[in-house]
Amino acid sequence: MRNLYLFVIFLVMYEFSTYISNDMIMPGMLNIVTEFHASIKFVGLSFTVFIFGNSLLQLFLGPLSERFGKRIVILVGNCLFMVFTVYLAMSNNIYEFMLGRLLQGSGLAFIAMGYALIHEKFNDKQAVKIFSLMGNISLLAPLLGPVLGVAVIQISSWRYVFVITGLLALISLIGLYKFTPKSIVNPIKLNIRDIGKTYLKILRSPQFIVGTLCVSFSALPILCWIGLAPTIIMKTLKLSMTSYAIYQLVAIGGLSLSTVIMHIVAGRVGFSRLIKIGSTLAFMGLTIALVFNTSLNIVVIGMLFYSFGLGISNTLVMRLVMTVPDLPQAMLTSLMIFIQTTIFAIGTTVANSISYYFSYSLYGFTLIAFTIGCVFMILVTIYAKMNKQRTWN
């Protein structure tokens, strides 16, 4: 059991390195587009490309994990992420940089197999607590990333952001090599037709489809915020990098608070009730942000409520989706992440275009976030009813 928890620690480090690499560079994106003589649109687009990279390999990883084992897939992914991160540090123009962001983002895809391993090894209560802690440690990246990124960029160059995160990825690779457990390997050869049939079987599951749409649309506003906040705060509102880092710290701070709550209520309050409470708080936060969109301070407080509710509801929905019975977990995870990241990529692209139309104003962002909030409230309400009888095990 000790080695299993050490595996979780190094998996978190791997995931943390992927996220913080993105969040550290976001404050420096204005510097990068200036250095490369590129359009301001590339600030938001770089984040979208990074997310899209996550979906490139996703559908292949499930079958590969079933055939060769999750351990080897996780190690290969960590190694590739490290290589592409170093490539980014050496990019010479905006197109090389964007290609690097796409390839670096593909490193995120492999983390899903680590999540599948945890679902395989732990029960409901253990898994929910671990995922709550893991998710929020990883999402410390949006909290610490901007602060660290500002410090690194002001002291040296944006390129050192990728040098630092590349070293962090190397440490996680060493730890994962030592502690990642082996999983069940299916010796049967890969067959495209059988893989297609399995994915179709998963897609026919209402539990899978509705749950996947829930976790996707619920998290989309926070991704839009991460991608658009640098332009809104530093370009439109003309505030400093330090101000941006502070506002980011507050806006996403609710995720950390939700970790504390989840460790208290896990196993004590029903799945359906907790999902409803979390999603309602998240929607209230987005509503507050839209109503008071002329004040950055109140918008950020609204985002704080949203991120707190998100941390509660999404952890539970993710557990329900990834434990749908009679479906191969690795392929289910791959398909879920593929759909999720595709929605993230399309959603952040549309949000970037709409924000550009509204001159990257707070009103434009809060209108987008509230609209998405209406969608996820409908989906989460349906999903909570579908799992009304679900108990902890």
CATH number of the structural domain spanning residue 36: 1.20.1250.20
CA atoms of 288 and 299, how far apart (whole Å): 7
For residue 392, being part of any structural domain is answered with no
CA atoms of 173 and 81, how far apart (whole Å): 10
Band (150; pLDDT cuts 50, 70, 90): confident
For residue 68, being part of any structural domain is answered with yes
Mean pLDDT computed over 241-246: 84
Sign of CA dihedral 221, 223, 224, 228: positive
pLDDT at residue 130, rounded to an integer: 73
Query: Does the reported pTM lie above 0.85?
Result: no
pLDDT, tens digit (0-9, with 9 covering 90-100), for 85-97: 999 999 999 999 9
> Of 172, 148, 175, 130, whose CA–CA distance to 16 is shortest?
172
Mean pLDDT computed over 60-66: 80
Q: Which domain holds residue 230?
A: 2-179+186-386
Whether the predicted pLDDT of 133 surpasses 70 = no
Mean pLDDT computed over 76-92: 93
Map tokens 């290969």 to a residue: 76
pLDDT at residue 307, rounded to an integer: 93
What is the CA 250 to chain-centroid distance, rounded?
Answer: 18
For residue 393, being part of any structural domain is answered with no
CA atoms of 96 and 119, how far apart (whole Å): 37
For residue 391, being part of any structural domain is answered with no
Mean pLDDT computed over 127-140: 65
pLDDT at residue 392, rounded to an integer: 63
**pLDDT top residue among 311 and 299:** 299
Number of domains composing the chain? 1
pLDDT at residue 32, rounded to an integer: 93
For residue 282, being part of any structural domain is answered with yes
CA atoms of 302 and 284, how far apart (whole Å): 8
Whether the predicted pLDDT of 251 surpasses 70 = yes
For residue 127, being part of any structural domain is answered with yes
